[in-house]
């Protein structure tokens, strides 16, 4: 699925690195569409330029800090790891959103 990656101004206030913001913004863009992100780490690399190994570490951090939820879901006949942004993430880190 081709789509824009939306990076919002509030994301810069989270204290995340630029690469972390980009990966979060990708996952958040899919979440806003009502679907989760399930294309894997190679897909993150393809869409953002962040190497898949680094993307894996970033996703783990985002899950650990509560910005992203990870679950298993049956997608296109396969069980996939699905990533979704936590919708109140902006409110966790900022007061003006």
Give residue-wise pLDDT tens across range 12-59.
Answer: 888 999 999 999 999 999 998 888 888 889 999 999 999 999 999 999
Pick the closest to residue 21 from 74, 78, 68, 53 (CA basis).
Answer: 68
**The whole model's pTM is what?**
0.87
User: In angstroms, rounded to a whole number, what is the distance separating the alpha carbons of residues 13 and 8?
Assistant: 10
The domain containing residue 13 runs over which residues? 9-91
| Region 61-87 average pLDDT | 89
Asked if residue 26 is part of any domain, the answer here is yes
CATH number at residue 43: 1.10.10.10
- Count of the separate structural domains present in the chain: 1
Whether residue 40 is contained in a domain is answered as yes
For 35, the token pair is 């679907």
């Amino acid at each position: 699925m081709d789509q824009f990656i939306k990076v919002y101004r509030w994301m810069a206030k989270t204290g995340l690195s630029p690469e972390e913001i980009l990966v979060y913004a990708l996952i958040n863009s899919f979440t806003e569409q009502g679907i989760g992100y399930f294309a894997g780490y190679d897909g993150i690399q393809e869409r953002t330029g962040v190497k898949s190994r680094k993307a894996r570490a970033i996703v783990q951090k985002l899950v650990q800090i509560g910005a992203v939820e990870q679950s298993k879901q049956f997608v296109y006949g396969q069980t996939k790891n699905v990533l979704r942004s936590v919708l109140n993430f902006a409110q966790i880190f900022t007061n003006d959103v």
